[in-house]
Amino acid sequence: MNWNNWIRQSHRWLSIAFTVAVIINIVAMVLQQQAVWIGLLALFPLIFMLLSGLYLFALPYLSPRRIAKGSTSAS
């Protein structure tokens, strides 16, 4: 598996972890068992999802094929 596929797959798994953490946070709020670590539980996957999502967003714009295509059409 190459680097881009690894980041894409980890982004998908992080989204599942984030969803589970949000559900745990909602259940804790309903049960009135709010704690700081429960709130931070969803923050950690969210930070890594932000980084990997920004990378995946910029990837098509930074690919060598797109750069080469753009330079040949401008000539």
Position 8 scores a pLDDT of: 92
List, for residues 29-50, the tens digit of each pLDDT value: 898 887 788 888 889 999 999 9
3-state secondary structure 8-32: HHHHHHHHHHHHHHHHHHHHHHHCC
pTM of full prediction above 0.75: no
Single-letter amino acid, residue 45 = P
- Residue 66's pLDDT is what? 58
Q: How confident is the model at residue 75 (pLDDT cuts 50, 70, 90)?
A: very low
Residue 37 CB neighbour total at 10 angstroms: 7
Summarize the confidence of residues 3-14 as an average pLDDT: 92
Residues in contact with 10: Cβ distance below 8 Å, sequence separation at least 6, in sequence order = 48, 52
Cβ contacts of 44 within 8 Å, gap of 6 or more: 21
